[in-house]
Chains A and B, each alone.
Chain A
Amino acid sequence: MQNEYQSLSPTAAKRWIILLAAFVNGFVIMSIELLGGRVMAPYFGSSVYVWGSIITVFMLSLSFGYLWGGRLSLNNPGPRTFVLFFFGSAVLCLPIIFFADPLMTEVFLVIEDPRYGSLLSAILLYFLPICLMGMVSPYSVRMLVARQSHSGGIAGELYFVSTLGSALGTLGTSFYFVVWFEINQIIWVCILAQLLSGTVVAIAFREQLGSGKDKDTTAPAPASAAVDARGGHS
């Protein structure tokens, strides 16, 4: 099993880029979650139910994102899929800016109870983008782990940076951004941050993106070959 393990083991610079992308991703998740309360308040109020709906949907989206992201990393893992999570989630955030009002108006008209109205709206607005953002975490582990014996340490590092990002996203958004900017301006910045992360990852891993399969079939860089070799013997 160990001998079959195909390391995508990146150089130190690439490792930092993946960690940074995971940090930004964590930041964006919580920033969007926090704004969710404000996006939905005009239609469903700010009762406990609305926050209940938002948190439920975010947790649900992330849990499926973790599951499916982990599964995706089993077959031909590589930077191309990873980059697509960022671009995809950025695009899927656009409806929050452009369609939230008409969508919530429809839901408001159809569903009287603000509990289920807010739950349905939260699912429609947030499930897809947050699910994709959730896929980033397990997939980053796969991108970073060179040797199985190190997998726990790598996973710990990843949770650390992405959760730290989430903490700062929560703090920054709730304490400062909402005083300085409009909600949609903050969401635009989140979208741009995801696009930028995806672009930086794509540039860093550009040699591995070109091939037909999402796999490093080109000659590996010496450093990663060295890690590969070590991985094989551990």
Chain B
Amino acid sequence: MRFATWLISLLLVTTGTQQASAQRNVVHEERSQYRDVVVTEFNGQRCMLFNVVRGDMNQTCMDLSDPERLIFTYTKMSFAGLLFNPQPERILIAGLGGGTIPMTLRELYPDAEMDVVEIDPAVVTVAKDWFNYQEDDKHEVHVVDARVFIKRAGLRGVKYDFIMLDAFSGEYIPEHLLSREFLQEVKTLLTDDGILVANTFSSSRLYDHESVTYRDVFGPFYNFKLPDSGNRIILATPGDTLPHVGDLRAPARDLYDRLEPYGINILEFPPRLSDEPDWDTEARVLTDQYSPANLLN
């Protein structure tokens, strides 16, 4: 235990993800079929980490003195989806992490039906025990691969008006959650006024492939990046036309007061959206037959 603490501190120091003087305490380790899940506390923040040995980044963090405040920029960015559908009634989230996004959405929309899909039961346990995550009678977490859940939901004819894809394995999004066939399955779950929010990385060799694949399935979509984040949020709608950025300012003003307590300044989001391709449009579309995602990343 002490050795693990020392090791984590060392790795974090050497990889430069935190200040060098940091003393990180491992407060919990949960064994998992996939990768052990570690909870650390440092500087008033509690974080969930995977793949500690390789010094991977935090999966999710919580401010212990102000648990409501969202710490990661990408988490805040994912609420841009609300600009397109300010009153979601049926929400699907793939990838639980510490449960920050579903719990925030629950507070914002107490009546929304919510399905959360998480492959790793250990993550669910840690989220509940250490990150105040909880289900309720309209909010269920399903321990299953997202592809399987979404395929089955499609067969049952279930629809959602807010879908968030945030499923990451150790390195990146698993390849069967990046293919054209998968995105088509996701698209059939969207209601006409629904919005798909996908969390991806802006810097990876996959960026081009990923972008042309989303474009292939959804047509034009909005790319959302912020200068202080390495994430790129994809905002895609099932229809052929995207709403104009100008039309998103009104919902941004309406949402501002409700989102401000979480540290989300949604007013700065609309000008940051772009539907101009900033990728190689000749890149090869990812399919179930061709999806070397983890090799290209």
Which residues of chain A have a CB within 8 Å of any CB of chain B? 38, 41-48, 108-109, 112, 114, 175, 178-179, 181-184
Contacts of A109 in B (CB 8 A): 155
Q: Are A38 and B291 in contact (CB under 8 A)?
A: yes
Chain B residues near A (Cβ < 8 Å): 33-34, 119, 144-148, 151-152, 155, 174-176, 179, 181-182, 287-292, 295-296
CB distance from B144 to the nearest CB of A (A): 7
Whose C-beta in chain A lies nearest to the C-beta of B290? A182
Top 3 nearest A-B pairs (CB, nearest first) are A45-B145, A41-B176, A182-B289
Given A109-B155, A179-B295: A45 and B289 interface contact (C-beta under 8 Å) = no
A114 vs B144: C-alpha distance in the bound complex, in angstroms? Answer: 8
A97 to B179: give the CA distance in the assembly, Å: 19
A42 and B176 contact, CB distance less than 8 A:
yes
Q: Are A45 and B119 in contact (CB under 8 A)?
A: yes
Q: Are A41 and B292 in contact (CB under 8 A)?
A: no
Beyond A175-B295, A179-B295, is A47–B182 a contact (Cβ under 8 Å)? no
Asked if B148 contacts A184 (CB within 8 A), the reply is no
Chain B hits for A108, CB < 8 A: 151-152
Q: Which residues of the other chain, B, contact A41 by a CB distance below 8 angstroms?
A: 147, 174-176, 288
Q: B155 — which chain A residues lie within 8 A by C-beta?
A: 109
Task: For A47, give its contact among B145, B152, B291, B296 (CB under 8 Å).
Answer: B145
B144, A43: Cβ atoms under 8 Å?
Answer: no
Most buried by B among A38, A42, A178, A181: A42
User: How far is it, in angstroms, between the C-alpha of A179 and the C-alpha of B181 when the chains are bound?
Assistant: 18
Chain A residues contacting B151 (CB-CB under 8 Å) are 42-43, 108
What is the bound-complex CA distance between A191 and B292, given in angstroms? 22
Q: Which residues of B contact A183 (CB under 8 A)?
A: 288-290
CA distance A42 to B296 in the complex (A): 19
- Measured between beta carbons, the chain A residues less than 8 angstroms from B288 are 38, 41-42, 183
- From B34, B146, B152, B296, give the contact of A48 (CB < 8 A): B34
A221 to B55 Cα, complex, angstroms = 64
Whether A46 contacts B174 in the complex (CB less than 8 A), given A108-B151, A179-B292, comes out as yes
- The answer to whether B295 touches A178, judged by C-beta atoms less than 8 angstroms apart, is yes
A108-B151, A109-B155 known; A44+B292 contact, CB < 8 A? no
